[in-house]
Structure 1
Amino acid sequence: MENIRNKDTRPMMDLVAKKVFSNTEVTAQFIRDLLELPVASVKLLDGAQIHAKPYKDLLPFVTHVDVLAELDDGTQVIIEIQVAMQVDFIKRLWLYICEQVSQNLDDYKKEGVDTHYLSQELIPVYAIAITEKSYFGDNRAIHTFSMRDDENCEELKVKFKGIKEKRNLIRMVFLEIEKYRENTMENYKKVRWIEFFGNKPYTHEPEKIMKQADSIINPRKWSKEEKSMFDERRRDFDGYYAHLAYVKEEKEQAIAEGLQQGIERGIEQGLQQGIERGIGLGIEQGRMKELVDLVKEGLLTREIVAKKLKLSEEELEAYL
């Protein structure tokens, strides 16, 4: 039986993850741990609101799992929850960053900032992705990327307006839940968030902030509307996974039946070919006997019969 921490909910479910990050204390600590930034406070710019799905005949509720948080120093962080494997997910995450940078610059233009000075107003936009599936070929569950020198890995840091220390232009952090191992040697401040979102038992005594996060995902403390959305989404998830299990079972059964039919057809074809070859051989042997008898009776010459049987006269001699 799967060893899980919370039997009542799935932290990676979009609605549940959104509710976790709607708590600014939890979000601040999450960013503090993953990006190793001195976060004093966090404001949510996007990701806290509930969105109704336009095609309600299929699903009555839907949430956008992307979260955009702004730190007290102006730094912006995109948090993305990814359950299913998507080939272009990393590029899509980079696109989100680029779009946010572009939007920020457009806002400055509306404020009348001259294009020549837009670079002075630039603020860093970073991203954190929590993925159920693996996107990198090694065994590490945590990857952090930034701009660095190819020779000595020195970070490319610049001065941003309103931020005391220099910062890297870009940072992207990936947490891959599928790679989680209890005996990992990676930084536990980061690993504990894999345990949280992966619904794994904590390998260290959870600190207050993790207990707070666990309290948030407890459906018994949710509003009536949130419970309704959660129950609906859980039914959708259960139906989806049941469908996958059915498709898998049907595929395995089809393969088994196809294999059995292949074997049966192979046997039938083998028998048929054997019969045909046997008949052919019998006919050939009968024809040879008739021709050999004609030679023995002096009605045909050895030369003629050898030619008809495609034999040399010396080979024909063995049958006489």
Structure 2
Amino acid sequence: MIDKSWIESPIKSKEFSDGVVQFLEFAFSNASIDGKILCPCIICGFSVMCNRAEVFSHLLQRGFPEKYTYWHMHGEKHVQCNVESISQVQNESTRQYPMNDMLNDVFGIFDNNDPSNLPNNDNSRGSEERSQEETEKIKKLLEDGNQELYDGCTKYSKLSFIVRFYHIKVLCGATDKTFSMILDLLKDAFPHVKLPSSFYESKKMIKKLGLGYEKIDACPNHCMLYWGSSEDESRDKCKVCNTSRFMSNENDIGANVILDDQHRKKPKSAKVLRYFPLIPRLKRLYKCSKTANS
């Protein structure tokens, strides 16, 4: 077991600095990507990839999260239960339904591991009545979550592999084209592996987990958002600086010309704000059994 008592020590103490060095050795040995890890300091909050010197500096200046005593974001594994019978039950459940815990935290409706028993309406947690369409969507997620990546694979399901693959794409800043090319290579090299047919299908699968965002056109000079009132939403120019809402494309002749009554080439926005609604995220936060109690 790793001694983590230093986390509660004062930042300026030798115990804390020695503990940070211990953490860095562990993290860079188990979770390093291109010489960087997710910085856990209270400012970066596991959202920024930094090198060793940067993480060391951040932690000594800003502190280490007090409640981060299980370093799951940096490669630490769960400690297995010593009771053999309980361990066997947990391992069997994990092999058969590896994504149920995550989906349960997302939707809060799974009282057992049988997708066929998924109710159309959920009353177990006081949730509102669900539509048939949403129920079918969750059933499909369960199927993907329980489908082995290949015959005999117990570590990854189809869904868990794609979620992990997409996570690496985001952390490394890989393009959609890069994701597609690697996906095609994997399917070509391992034809027996159950993978989505394209990046588009992969993204559709992940989007079913919820917590998307809204795109809102913005003035390139940060004067206004084309959002709110119907008048602002329909504007073609900024009401403050009079800058065009759309990008100019001199090489694309007729970009704004109406081709016929049904077809019109939509101009590209000069700047787009991605809005992540807060309320759905708060609901998700307190629905999750692991975060609601912290």
TM-score normalized by structure 2?
0.22
User: Greater helix percent: which structure?
Assistant: 1
Query: If you compute each CA radius of gyration, which structure gives the higher value, 1 or 2?
Result: 1
TM-score normalized by structure 1?
0.20
User: Greater strand percent: which structure?
Assistant: 1
